[in-house]
Structure 1
């Protein structure tokens, strides 16, 4: 029976120039995180199901679940943050100073195929653990800006909100958890009519309803913060806005203010966020290329009570953005192609070994009789070779050089 050549829904092959470009982008991100002092970490591709079940991450129906031989329920990683928090609680609990960690790998979401979204995602990001200051918030946002710029993006916006503003309003209005979660979806989707219908159905006072509906329109430049402050009639909401103002002043020092906008209706499907929340958008790409925020209570789920903030870059979306703008990186030619006759194999192997011992890249190609030199020159050009040499029993000639 002939095996299928197709991949399952939601996954895809990456090869050739695209694969090379992706590796360049991921290496650029890795170098940028490293330049800020973030230490690399690797967590398993699957965990016990409860790592994700009780931490406010993706709904259970979106997880790939399975059982091991002992009957334990396991899940493929849908989101790096709970895995990294578990690891930090296990291995970094004795650190006296803030911990900076960076990661890169695959995440898996069992979403409907009708969404057209990938089920296997390439993600890279970071976590800053043990620092609850506005400077930590600003560092994380600046690091996100720095990463996008390092990869070649020039036109993008970081939209920032604070979940504390919305939660404070919900507390003031006396909303129960079910209504709050439903309202969160309507407001984050800018669904004015849906939010209004829910609030009326829940018998929320008219004054509170008006305030909630205004939230959907509270987005733009820093003037939005002053307008939001007028709605902050409780301590939690007021603190949330003042924190945004403080962070924005620090971002000005970093020189990032031109990339920053504010959105008080920016909320997340992840329930673990407690403060600052942000998303990065660029023109031509519908979904955000990065998202992050503060989750000061998440570590306590693993018995380690420390504040945390971080973000993730969706490498697939970033690649789409760079491709649309004609900014996909091209790997510099760095490999010598060494074509050789079979009777010159010993000489070719020794020469290739010598090049590699000097940290040069060399690929050996055994010449086939029915293929002429022009065929191999065309192949070297196609593969972006640095040089194509031809080794015979008598000599080595350069046929092509970049």
Structure 2
């Protein structure tokens, strides 16, 4: 009976719609089958909702195309390593992954940037000059479904590869603003930070890489009074990042080479199993480097004190940069990063970027293992809440991490579902249509 109704649907869909539904229900009831529902965090799109989502993608795509960005479509499936090589634990726990029939570890893409950079490494010559890409499509994150959010959602964005200048930072920020204007959210507010500044500050105190990341990850808490430097020091000591001597020593051993030989003998066959791309010797060498990199409490306290003083600065970009220059003048840190930031702000002003809707927050950090310089988020106000609709920044290490040359890059991505929700909640107050159109766009 089901087969017969399916054949009738193929030949004449509308006349038999009711008949198909009745036959299908009767068949399911006769065998007492449970309904197979949607997965958690997934949704169906149809009708007006689907049209609005497609329209929003098209609006953002038109804005990026007008700026000279080349549309690119990358595979939904990529190798797991593409996404974890740089981001590591920040994204690996959220991957939808499996091993295919060839034994290759595969993942549904959780974002576009790594795929775009993979395409660049495989197809583009660094000497060809800056490359501009734009994209849009579904991405998947297993932990994104908490709080009613979607585990499959739609991103639209752009990447600029091969330009390290402050003008490139301004270009990406301004393009992000233009995309939001096209989407009906011209009054979005921007929060800008700069991980490069904090890295420069912490490097001046010779902090190890793990300690730097630890401090930056906790800087917002300390800068805004949610914790004490002494508490941060205690946590760092407990985790083994800091020791009282400033350096771990090995009694009776004079060189790192001797330490490596000693550890290889000590570990024995435990390092003989497959270890990915690294040999046992490489792993032991890394352990020794990490041991030698242990930071002393005095340097840690001084670094965190200066970083937190900078982190408390937020507000008008020009005022924040002036205040930051005064703070750095009392230290040994060179102010060149501040000058680059000032140049970016000047470019933005010349472009007509909405500076009155922009805050420079030196404690703002996102993707600390990923971004290397300017970072930003765009927010809209929904009632008493500020909701992030997207963001981005500079990730100068990613091209090299994925097998390419030492090529700088930066970009941004927006979540279409968040933009649609923001438009719906703001429509009455702003006179915006449900599809995001506006008289001021």
TM-score (norm 1): 0.76
2:219 match: secondary structure: helix
* 2:131 corresponds to 1:99: yes
- Which residue is 2:340 aligned to? 243
Alignment length, in residue pairs?
331
* Residue 25 of structure 1: aligned partner: 56
C-alpha separation between the residues in 2 aligned to 1:167 and 1:199?
18
Deviations 1:120-175 (A, max 9, x none): 12101111111111111111111011111111113221111111111122223343
Q: Does 1:139 align with 2:240?
A: no
Question: Deviation of residue 115 (structure 1)?
Answer: 4.2
Query: Given that residues 134 and 246 in structure 1 are in contact (C-alpha distance below 8 angstroms), is that contact kept between their aligned partners in structure 2?
Result: yes
Conservation of the 8 A alpha-carbon contact between 1:131 and 1:308: yes
The one of 42, 45, 48 equivalent to 2:73 is 42
Question: Are residues 1:274 and 2:372 paired?
Answer: yes
What SS does the aligned partner of 1:170 have? helix
Find 1:193's aligned residue among 206, 211, 226. 226
Deviates more, 1:256-265 or 1:69-78: 256-265
In structure 2, relative to structure 1, the CA distance for the partners of 1:118 and 1:204 (3 Å cut) is: farther
Aligned pair partner of 2:399 in 281, 292, 299: 299
1:192–1:180 Cα change, 3 Å = farther
Q: For 1:249, what is the secondary structure of its paired residue?
A: helix
Q: Which structure 2 residues correspond to residues 178-327 of structure 1 after superposition, within 5 A?
A: 178-188=210-220, 192-194=225-227, 196=229, 197-202=231-236, 203-204=297-298, 206-222=301-317, 223-232=319-328, 233-235=331-333, 238-256=335-353, 257-284=355-382, 286-305=386-405, 306-326=407-427, 327=432
Deviation at 1:296, TM superposition (A): 1.5
Cα distance change, pair 209–324 in 1 and its aligned pair in 2 (3 A): same
SS of equivalent residue, structure 1 residue 54:
helix
Normalised by the length of structure 2, the TM-score is: 0.70
- SS of aligned partner of 1:9: coil
Aligned-residue Cα RMSD (Å) equals: 2.3
Structure whose residues are more often helix by fraction:
2
CA distance in 1, matches of 2:97, 2:159: 26
- SS in structure 1 at match of 2:420: helix
Q: Which residue of 1 aligns with 2:17?
A: none
Name the structure where strand makes up a greater proportion of residues: 1
* 1:278-306 Cα deviation digits (max 9, x unpaired): 11111116441121111112111233221
Query: Gaps spanning 5+ residues in structure 2: where?
Result: 1-31, 237-296
Q: Is 275-284 or 201-210 further displaced after alignment?
A: 201-210
Task: Give the alignment partner of residue 14 of structure 1, picking from 21, 24, 45.
Answer: 45
Q: CA deviation at 1:110?
A: 1.6
Cα pair 1:186 1:195 within 8 Å, conserved: no
